[in-house]
Amino acid sequence: MPPLPDYAREYLLSALEGAPDVIAALLTDLPAGDAALWDRRPDPERFTLREIAAHLADWDVIYRERLERTRDEDNPFLPDVDEGRVALDRDYARSDARESLTRFARNRAAVVALLRALPADAWTRPAEKEGVGTLTVEAQVTLICAHDGHHARQVVAWLRPPETGR
């Protein structure tokens, strides 16, 4: 399968590059010490705002490692990572959300730099992702963008005032 056209890769890179700014803009007005807002959990199965910030920062390290392996190895096996276990091990519930957002921006910049340095044909290099199957660099980047969108939508939903039951 041929790589995406240059303009489509640039759209993906722009989306990746802008995601930390989008998340930060959504959260900018929240007072850093307002635990009631940062730690509200409207859905008991999902992250709080504080945990989302930590998760996004950590996951870009994982994404970068996967992309580096896909660039450097022939069809590497990329093991799944248990996000719930990572959240507990790294104590997302007590993380500093502002510091996490700063790490997210820094880690994302490293991912974008790696991708910008790739030649166009490298975007079709495959890897085997546990539980998913074959993913090219292009598919991994698309999933990162989808992951960002998922959490941006979650942040917006968490920021809505709770229903008053009218």
- Give per-residue pLDDT as tens, 55-84: 999 999 999 999 999 999 999 999 999 999
**Residue keyed to tokens 């007072």:** 31
Residue 85 in any domain: the answer is yes
Q: What is the pLDDT of residue 1?
A: 63
Strand 133-136's sheet: what is its strand order?
Answer: 77-78, 126-129, 133-136
In percent, the amount of the chain with pLDDT more than 90 equals 80
In whole angstroms, what is the distance from residue 61 CA to residue 63 CA?
5
Domain interval for residue 80: 6-159
Instruction: Decide if 65 is inside a domain.
Output: yes
Report pLDDT for 35. Answer: 84
Helix (H, G, I), strand (E, B) or coil at 107: helix
Confirm whether 165 is domain-assigned: no
Give domain status of residue 36, yes or no: yes
Given a contact cutoff of 8 angstroms between Cβ atoms, the answer to whether 104 and 60 are in contact is: yes
Domain of 130: which CATH number?
1.20.120.450
pLDDT tens digits, one per residue of 99-147? 999 999 999 999 999 999 999 999 999 999 999 999 999 999 999 999 9
Q: For residue 166, name the pLDDT band (cuts at 50, 70, 90).
A: very low
- Tell whether 166 is covered by a domain: no
Give residues with Cβ within 8 angstroms of 136, minimum separation 6.
Answer: 1, 70, 123, 124, 125, 126, 127
Nearest-angstrom CA–CA distance, 61 and 67: 10
Mean predicted confidence (pLDDT) in 25-52: 90
pLDDT of residue 2: 67
